[in-house]
Amino acid sequence: MFHKHYETLRIKMIVMTLGFSLIPLLALGVTIYYQFNNTFQNKITESLRTLAQNRKSSIELFFDERISQLNTIAQTHSFERLKEESFLTKVFNVMQSRSKSFIDLGVIDSDGNHLAYVGPYSEKLKSVNYAHEDWFQAVQSTGVYVSDVFLGFRKVPHFIIAVTSVENNRVWILRATINSAIIDEIVSGAQIGKRGDAFIINRKNILQTTPRFAGNLLESPNSPDFSSSRGTTIELMSFKGEESLYGAIPISNPQWVLVIREDPQEEMALLSGAYYTEALILGFGVILVILGTVFTTRLMTRRLIEAQKDKAKSEDLMIQSSKMAALGKMAAGIAHEINNPLQIIGDQAGWMKDLLESEDIKKSENFEEFDQCINKIERQVNRSREITHRLLRFGRRMETTQEMVDINHLLAETITFLENEAHFRDIQIQTEYDELLPKVSTDPNQLQQVFLNIIDNAIDAVGQSGQLRIRTSTDLKDPKELVVQISDNGPGISKEALSKIFDPFFTTKRADEGTGLGLSISYGIVEKLGGHIEVESVEGKGTTFYVRIPNV
Ligand code: ADP
């Protein structure tokens, strides 16, 4: 019942402490997790955005450079000169010396006639008329034209840049073919990680560069359609059941769209290290909190139980001592009451004895009988008086006094209290008193209590059939002390118990037989009286207590 109460209290304490400490800890862990996740995802999208913008700028710069190169040639040289093939070859060689990406260069008049051409297909292209081609129309209206990528005769991906110039109100066109390998190179710089991809599509969703995974050049890519994108798109999208992070950014001229694909798993993998560390710290924290809580609550409840037990015992003790005090008073009262009639009976018996001395009664044939009766009455009255005196002394034991005490006498009296018990258990009490023992100034009542405790313990230890030896002497080494030696041939005290027998509440007896207070109280009393208690014990042989009393 007692322990069950503390067990529920302990569980309540554990649950409450764990609740108060673990909930904030876990809340903190979850918040950190989400914050971290968000920040990292933002970082991933931001870096994808920056990557897409950088690549877009590089591609646009590439086109701007080529267009302005062609424009410079068209503006700085006359149509007449450029249509001379030898001059056009010179110009082409200069251009190629700066950039190998130029494949050929041609001059076309306003009617679409290819007037001059430098490049690998001079036979095929020289006499071609472009008047009906789409790009011819387009360049005339916009001034600059960049074609989509196509394979051409040599099956090498390339595209056309054409610019116009006006001379004498006549428009003519400078047209160059450019190898698109450079564009592929710029785009491939954005193919990050093991599964990342990057490619360019035109406005009809046809691949203009060769992707790593997303399909083949000049086909539609295996990705969501970004061909109509107007602004930058950064989005987590699913395509054919596979989720990827896509970044799409339109390029202004030509009207293409750069698409970059990243594997979110691969990007987030970097974060998993941080998650593991967080989980580890959190797990460690949780274990520490649980262990700490269990440990401290166990400690606290143990202390509480001990305190409660101590309290209960000291309450028991107080009840016991107040009972004893009441008993002492009662005994003294009764003894006092009985003493008076006893006194009268004794006096009357004495008077009767005196009367028996008179002549007539002496002659009576019952004189002997009378005399014996009166003697018996006197003996029994004396015995009763002895008992009432003892009771009176017992009553007085509660008060502390200081008087000259004959220790031998005090011991003899104490033994009389326990004689019956010893006799009943077939225990002999041998005494060996030092007849020359001096009287000492001490508290006889308290000292008697000490002797009672020790002799009582000895009788308990012997149990049945044994011997007790009580000896008094002056200490030869230190004549300032008297020694009372109380030995028994009981089972002795184990080494482990020997160090504890003077501790309060230490007992090896059943709860209803021993309180564990006798020796601790005795120890306190003897110390207070200026003396000392020592013990020697051999297991299996017996125990001897030495009570040393100052010889003053
Ligand atoms: P209690 O008698 O109530 O147990 P005490 O303080 O008087 O308390 O004694 C403490 C313990 O010391 C006893 O329980 C017992 O184990 C041990 N003890 C005391 N005297 C003897 C003795 N003469 N022989 C063996 N054990 C003893």
**Nearest CA residue ID for atom 13, ligand 1:** 507
Q: Whose CA is nearest to atom 2 of ligand 1?
A: 514
Over 80: is that where the pLDDT of 127 sits?
no
Q: State if residue 516 touches ligand 1 by the CB under 6 angstroms criterion.
A: yes
Q: Answer yes or no: is the C-beta of 514 below 6 A from any ligand 1 atom.
A: yes
Q: Which CATH superfamily is domain 2-176 in?
A: PAS domain (3.30.450.20)
More confident residue, 168 or 329: 168
> For 398-426, what is the mean pLDDT?
89
- Answer whether 260's CB lies under 8 Å from 267's CB: no
Question: Hey, what amino acid is at 285?
Answer: G
Q: What is the pLDDT of residue 104?
A: 92
Q: What pTM did the predictor assign?
A: 0.54
* Residue 216: strand, helix, or coil: coil
pLDDT tens digit sequence for 446-499: 899 899 999 999 999 999 999 999 999 997 777 889 999 999 999 999 999 998
Residue 547 CA, chain-centre distance (Å), reads 53
pLDDT tens track for 44-84: 899 999 999 999 999 999 999 999 999 999 999 999 999 89
Answer yes or no: is the C-beta of 543 below 6 A from any ligand 1 atom. yes
Please give the pLDDT value at position 396: 62
- Measure 84 CA to ligand 1 centroid, in angstroms: 133
H or E segment at 59? helix 2-76
Atom of ligand 1 nearest to the CA of 521: 6
For atom 8 of ligand 1, which residue has the closest CA? 516
Quickly state the pLDDT bin for 501 (edges 50, 70, 90): very high
CA of 409 relative to ligand 1 center, distance in Å: 25
Distance of CA 465 to the CA centre of its chain: 60
pLDDT at 185 over 80: yes
In ligand 1, which atom is closest to the CA atom of 507? 14
Q: How confident is the model at residue 398 (pLDDT cuts 50, 70, 90)?
A: low
User: What's the 491 CA to ligand 1 centre distance in angstroms?
Assistant: 11
Does an H or E element contain 171, and which?
Answer: strand 170-179
Reply yes or no on whether the pLDDT at 549 is more than 90: yes
Ligand 1 centre distance from Cα of residue 501 (Å): 6
- Cβ of residue 458 lying under 6 Å from some atom of ligand 1: yes
Residues 142-170 pLDDT 10s: 899 999 998 877 788 999 999 999 988 88
**CATH for 182-269 (3.30.465.10, 3.30.450.20, 3.30.365.10, 3.90.230.10):** 3.30.450.20
Tell me the Ramachandran region of residue 353: left when phi exceeds 0, alpha when psi lies from -120 to 50, beta otherwise.
alpha
Q: Which atom of ligand 1 is nearest to the CA of 514?
A: 3
Q: What's the confidence (pLDDT) of residue 395?
A: 64
Nearest CA to ligand 1 atom 12: 501
Q: What is the pLDDT of residue 79?
A: 92
User: Has residue 442 got a pLDDT over 70?
Assistant: yes
Closest ligand 1 atom to the C-alpha of 506? 10
Q: Which pLDDT belongs to residue 533? A: 93
Q: Is the pLDDT higher at 357 or at 185? A: 185
For ligand 1, is residue 461 a contact (CB within 6 Å)? Answer: yes
Is the distance from CB of 249 to CB of 201 less than 8 angstroms?
no
pLDDT, residue 325, reads 64
Q: Which CB contacts under 8 angstroms, 24+ apart, belong to 336-344? A: 336/388, 336/392, 338/384, 338/388, 339/385, 339/388, 339/392, 342/381, 342/384, 342/385, 342/388
Which residue has its alpha carbon closest to ligand 1 atom 3?
514
Distance in Å, CA 505 to ligand 1 centroid: 10
Q: For residues 65 and 409, what is the distance between their CA atoms, to the nearest angstrom?
A: 131
Beta strand ranges found along 204-241 (DSSP E): 233-239
Alpha-carbon distance 412 to 432, whole Å?
Answer: 11
pLDDT value at residue 46: 92
- Of the two residues 312 and 18, the one the predictor is more confident about is 18
DSSP 99: -
Nearest atom, ligand 1, residue 457 CA: 20
393 near 417, Cβ under 8 Å?
no
Tell me, what's the pLDDT at 317? Answer: 65
Query: What is the sign, positive or negative, of the torsion defined by CA atoms of 433, 434, 435, 440?
Result: negative
Cα–Cα distance between 370 and 10 in angstroms, integer? Answer: 80
457 lines ligand 1 (CB under 6 A): yes
The pLDDT value given to residue 394: 62
Mean pLDDT score across all residues of the chain? 88
Q: Ligand 1 centre and the CA of 326: distance in Å?
A: 26
For CATH 3.30.565.10, the residue range(s) in the chain are 400-550
Instruction: Please list the residue range(s) of the chain that carry CATH number 3.30.450.20.
Output: 2-176, 182-269
Query: Could you report the per-residue pLDDT of 482-495, keeping only the tens digit for each?
Result: 999 999 999 999 99
Q: Right CATH number for 400-550 from 1.10.260.40, 3.40.50.280, 3.10.180.10, 3.30.565.10? A: 3.30.565.10
User: Residue 287 pLDDT more than 90?
Assistant: yes
Residue 500 backbone class (left: φ over 0; alpha: ψ -120 to 50; beta: rest): alpha
Could you tell me if the CB of 349 is within 6 A of ligand 1? Answer: no
Q: 518, 462, 465: which is closest to 490 by C-alpha?
A: 462
DSSP letters, 483-509, are: EEEEEE-S----HHHHTTTTSTT---S
| Substitution candidate for ligand 1 out of 418, 454, 501 with most atoms within 8 A of CB | 501
pLDDT, position 144: 93
Is the model's pLDDT at 423 over the cut of 90? yes
